[in-house]
Amino acid sequence: MRWRILALLFAARVGLGFQFQTMGAVGGNLTDAFGLDNAQIGLMIGLFMAPGLFLALPAGFSGRFASDRVLAGFGLGALALGSALSAMASEPPGIGFGRVVSGVGFLFAMLYFTKMVADWFEGREIATAMSILVMSWPFGIAMGQVGHTWLAEVHGWRVPFGVAAIWCALAALAVLTLYRPPHDLPSRTASRIKGLLPREWGLIVLAGFAWGVFNAGYVVYLSFGPTMLEAQGMNTLAAASVISVGSWLMILSGTFCGQIADRLGRRETILAVCMAGAVLALMLLSLPGAELAASLLFGLVGMAPAGVIMALAGQAVAPERRAFGMGVFFTVYYAIMTASPPVAGWLLDRTGTPESAILCGAALFALVFPVAVLFRMLKTGATPEPIKETA
C-alpha cells in the first residue's frame, strides 16, 4: 500500500516542478515582450518561493485542524489557479501575482507531501522513499525545460502557464480522491507539547538550511546554466536541452543514492563526494565543449543525495509534532530559496558574465556538507527523547 501511495504522490508532485519551470522557460519571451532584465526575471522566479517566508509556520500549524489530504489538495488547486492567472495576465505585475498565488499552493503541497511520505515510511526505507518523492521535482522541471521552451517558442509565453495549470488541477483531483493515511499514525491531539523540543528546533533548522542551499544551488543551475551556454553560442532550445540532462539523470541517481544510504549508512561521506561533484560540474559549465560532461556529472553525482538531505526533516521531529516541524523546516527553506535567484541575477547584471551567477550556485552547494555534519553532531550528542533513525 505504501508504495502505491508513494506513486500517487510522485505523479501529483511532478506538477510542482512543471509549474515552477514555466518562468525559467519563458523568461526570454517576457524580456522581449516587457523589457524585463535578469534581476527582474530572477525576482519573478523568487516570487514562487516568497509566500513560504510568511505562511510556512501557519501551514504547518493548520495540520491540527485539517487532514493532510485536504491540505495537499488545496495546495495543488492553488498552483493551478496561480498558473492560470499568470497565463491570463496582460502586464508583469499580473504575472507576478499569479506566481505568488502558485507559491502559496507550492508551500502547502510541498509541506504535506513531505509529511505524508515521512508518516508512511518512518523507520523503514525513508531515504529511499524521500529520494523517490523529491525526484518528482526535477522530473517536472526537466519536462518543463524542454516542453515549456518548445511551447513558448511555437505558441507564445501564455501556453506553458496554461498547460501547467491543467496538470496541477488533475493532480489535486487525484490526491483528494485516492490518498489514504497510514492506520498507525499518532493522533494530532496525542501530544500535550504545543511546540518543538529545544533539540528539535536545532535539528529542524539545520535540516531546512541544508535543504534550502541544496535546492537554491539547483535553481541557480537551472535558471542561469542555459544563459552560460547561450553566451558560448548555443541556441536557446539546445541550451535548455543540455541543462535538462542533469535533471533527467538525477531521477535515477537520486533513487539509487537513497538505497545506498538506507542500506550502508555513511551519509556524510555520500554528501561530501556528491557536493564536490556538484561544485565541479558548475565549474565545468564555463569550459566550451564541456557542457554535456558538466550536465552528466551534475545529474549522476551532484544531485544524487536529494533524498538523503530531505530525510533529515523526517528524522528531526517526533511524529506527533511533525506538521509544525515541517512548517519550521520550510520557513528556513523558503527564506534561502526566495533570496538566491535575485542575488544570482543581480550578480549577472552587475558583472555582465554568467560565470558570477554560476559561482553563486557553487557556493550554495558547498554549504550542504558542513551543515549536515552539524545536524549529525547535534542528533547523536543529545540524549532526551531519541529520534528513530534509519541505517
Percent of the residues in the chain that have a pLDDT greater than 70, as a whole number: 94
Residue 228 pLDDT: 87
> In the chain, what is the straight-line distance between the N-terminal and C-terminal CA atoms, in Å?
22
pLDDT score, position 186: 59
Residue 186 within any structural domain of the chain: no
Domain carrying residue 106: 2-179+196-380
- Give domain status of residue 185, yes or no: no
Check whether 190 has a pLDDT greater than 80.
Answer: no
Provide the CATH number for the domain around residue 318: 1.20.1250.20
The band of 41, judged by pLDDT with boundaries at 50, 70 and 90, is confident
Q: What is the mean pLDDT of residues 336-359?
A: 85
Q: Give the confidence band of 192 by pLDDT, cuts at 50, 70, 90.
A: very low
User: Which alpha helices (DSSP H) does the chain contain, by range?
Assistant: 2-34, 38-47, 51-61, 68-88, 92-121, 126-134, 136-155, 158-178, 198-231, 236-264, 267-284, 291-297, 306-316, 322-351, 354-366, 368-381
19 sits in the region (left: phi over 0; alpha: psi -120 to 50; else beta) called alpha
Q: How confident is the model at residue 263 (pLDDT cuts 50, 70, 90)?
A: confident
* DSSP assignment of 61-121: HGGGTS-HHHHHHHHHHHHHHHHHHHHH-SSHHHHHHHHHHHHHHHHHHHHHHHHHHHHHH
| Residue 31 resides in a domain | yes
What is the SS3 assignment for 188? coil
Q: Any idea which of 84-93, 124-133, 180-189, 249-258 has the lowest mean pLDDT? A: 180-189
Residue 191 has pLDDT above 60, yes or no: no
* pLDDT for res 391: 37
Where does the pLDDT of residue 320 fall: very low under 50, low under 70, confident under 90, or very high at 90 and above? confident
Does residue 391 form part of some domain?
A: no
Q: What is the pLDDT of residue 367?
A: 95
Q: pLDDT-derived band of residue 330, with 50, 70 and 90 as boundaries?
A: confident
58-72, 74-88, 182-196, range with the lowest pLDDT: 182-196
Pairwise CA distance, residues 276 & 42, whole Å: 26
Residue 294 and residue 281 in contact, taking contact as beta carbons nearer than 8 Å:
yes
Which of 71-80, 310-319, 336-345 has the highest mean predicted lDDT (pLDDT)? 71-80
| Single-letter residue type at 239 | A
Average pLDDT, the chain: 85
The dihedral formed by the CA atoms of 192, 129, 254 and 251, expressed in degrees to the nearest 10: -120
Is 259 in contact with 389 (CB distance < 8 Å)?
no
Backbone angles phi, psi at 158, to 5 degrees: -75, -35
The answer to whether residue 295 is domain-embedded is: yes
CA atoms within 13 A on the CB side of 238: 10
Instruction: Say what the pLDDT of residue 193 is.
Output: 47
Q: How many domains are contained in the chain?
A: 1
Q: Specify the range with the lowest mean pLDDT, choosing from 59-68, 99-108, 209-218, 278-287.
A: 59-68
Output the pLDDT for position 185. Answer: 61
pLDDT of 223 = 81
- Residue 386 confidence (pLDDT): 42
Q: How far apart are CA 105 and CA 72, in angstroms?
A: 8
> Residue 98, Cα to own-chain centre: how many angstroms?
19
Q: What is the mean pLDDT of residues 27-45?
A: 80
Over residues 359-382, the mean pLDDT reads 90
Domain membership of residue 329 (yes or no) is yes
- Residues 101/78, Cβ–Cβ less than 8 Å: yes
Predicted pLDDT of residue 188: 53
